[in-house]
Amino acid sequence: MIIAIDGPAASGKGTLARRLAAEYALAHLDTGLLYRAVAKRLVDDGVDPANEAAAIAAAQSLGLSDLEASDLRSEIIGEIASRIAPLAAVRTELVRFQRNFAHNPPNGEGGAVLDGRDIGTVICPDADVKFYIVAAIEERARRRHAELRERGYAIELGDVTDKLRRRDTRDSERSVSPLRQAPGAHLLDTSNLSIDSAFAKAKALISKHFAEFKPRVTTVHRPMDAEARRSSGEHERTRLEKRRKTRKETT
């Protein structure tokens, strides 16, 4: 099962993706972190972000462990990542990474949830369920501002709003894989929705596609103690004895 979630920055797509992945026991990939990881590699190596060859090399060598760096969500890394994202050769490498994750999820999971800006249009156009998450720019700015303040960044709400507008323009007007609602994607506006409400709506839409699909229940198998083993053995012997008697009676 593959769930594709697209949408602009701070629309709530990442939070929703994580909740759905946990609910259905699926692997989760925040694809925006891939571009941030490439950006971080360039910054750490002191390479000019405009160096396309270095960006391609960084993209080719990425692994899942690179997505765990604590500073990937910094504003500086995010700005550089948004400049790297339109590079066609870099995108080609990261598209390969994302598709492999979707169709061969790690740890033997039964599927994956990917969130980004071109999942339903480019990465997994054949995803089982597709969502396009939006929210009013004012609400998105408020969310991002609160998030940054919580991390200790001193920034004005107006500046956050301006940055989001510029990011929206870059994402929607780039020539390669622009931000678009994918055909068949469910539009979900989270402007006036709590996290729980958005999650509930998404689950309801998934249920329409998979009436039989339920969250996985993990069964914990504990070793039997000696008494339990004896009881189990006696039960099995009784069952086999009854089966033999039945066979004799029928013959």
User: pTM to 2 decimals?
Assistant: 0.81
Q: CA-to-CA distance for 125 and 102, rounded, in angstroms?
A: 11
Q: Does residue 222 have a pLDDT over 70?
A: no
Question: What is the band of 245 on the pLDDT scale with cuts at 50, 70, 90?
Answer: low
**What share of the chain in percent tops pLDDT 90?**
71
Same domain, 166 and 63: yes
Whether residues 167 and 246 share a domain: the answer is no
Residues 6 or more apart whose CB falls under 8 angstroms from that of 178 comprise: 118, 171, 172
Radius of gyration of the chain (CA): 24
Residue 70 sits in which domain range? 2-209
**Crossing angle, helix 88-103 and helix 52-60, to 10 degrees?**
10
Q: Do 199 and 237 fall into the same domain?
A: no
In this structure, the answer to whether residues 192 and 236 fall within a common structural domain is no
160 and 251 in a single domain? The answer is: no
pLDDT digits (tens, 9 = 90+) for 122-146: 999 999 999 999 999 999 999 999 9
116: pLDDT strictly greater than 70: yes
- Residue 158 is which amino acid? G
Mean pLDDT, rounded, of the chain: 87
